[in-house]
């Protein structure tokens, strides 16, 4: 069975990311990613593991244990849950009037995304 570090290397390479790009995406240092890949650290905390799985669009259970499929369904659900929790926590820290501004910004972004999708694929 592969080690955590071997699975991390496999997933990172499959995604086409260099260590530095993955490190930036998850808020870690290049050295931290390198240490994880080389089994020289135990800094793969649950939070880091989920951030890495989210950035690589892989199943966190597979990354942690080697069980299941690298691209299993549960990765998207778990990643969405984590993203939702992080967004909600960030919004809770804003003053109330800024929360309403944030809702307006998100709604505007959703409309822009929808308009772009229709422009790219008008038959959809």
Question: Rounded to 5 degrees, what angle do the CA atoms 28, 72, 57 make?
Answer: 30
Centre a 10 Å sphere on the Cβ of residue 51 and count the other Cβ atoms it contains.
20
- Residue with the bigger pLDDT between 124 and 31: it is 31
pLDDT reading at 59 higher than 70: yes
Band the pLDDT of 68: cuts 50, 70, 90: confident
- Please check whether residue 54 is in contact with residue 25, taking contact to mean a CB–CB distance below 8 angstroms: no
Please state at what angle helix 30-37 crosses helix 4-15, rounded to 10 degrees: 120
In the chain, where the domains are located: 4-74, 94-124
- Please check whether residue 25 is in contact with residue 33, taking contact to mean a CB–CB distance below 8 angstroms: no
N-terminal to C-terminal alpha carbon distance within the chain: 43
Q: Give the CATH number of domain 4-74.
A: 1.10.260.40
With a threshold of 0.75, does the pTM exceed it? Answer: no
pLDDT reading at 52 higher than 90: yes
Give 19-65 as a DSSP string.
HHHHHHHHT--HHHHHHHHTT------HHHHHHHHHHHT--HHHHHH
Over the chain, what is the mean pLDDT? 86
């Amino acid at each position: 069975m592969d080690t955590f570090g071997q699975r991390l290397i496999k997933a990172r390479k499959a995604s086409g990311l260099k260590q530095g790009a993955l490190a930036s995406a998850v808020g870690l240092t290049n050295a931290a990613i390198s240490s994880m890949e080389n089994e020289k650290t135990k800094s793969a905390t649950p939070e880091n593991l989920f951030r890495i799985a989210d950035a690589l669009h892989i199943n966190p259970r597979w990354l942690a244990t080697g069980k299941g499929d690298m691209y299993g369904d549960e990765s998207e659900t778990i990643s969405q849950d984590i993203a939702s929790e992080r967004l909600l926590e960030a919004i809770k820290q804003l003053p109330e009037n800024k929360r309403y501004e944030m809702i307006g910004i998100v709604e505007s972004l959703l409309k822009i995304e929808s308009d772009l999708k229709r422009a790219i694929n008008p038959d959809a």
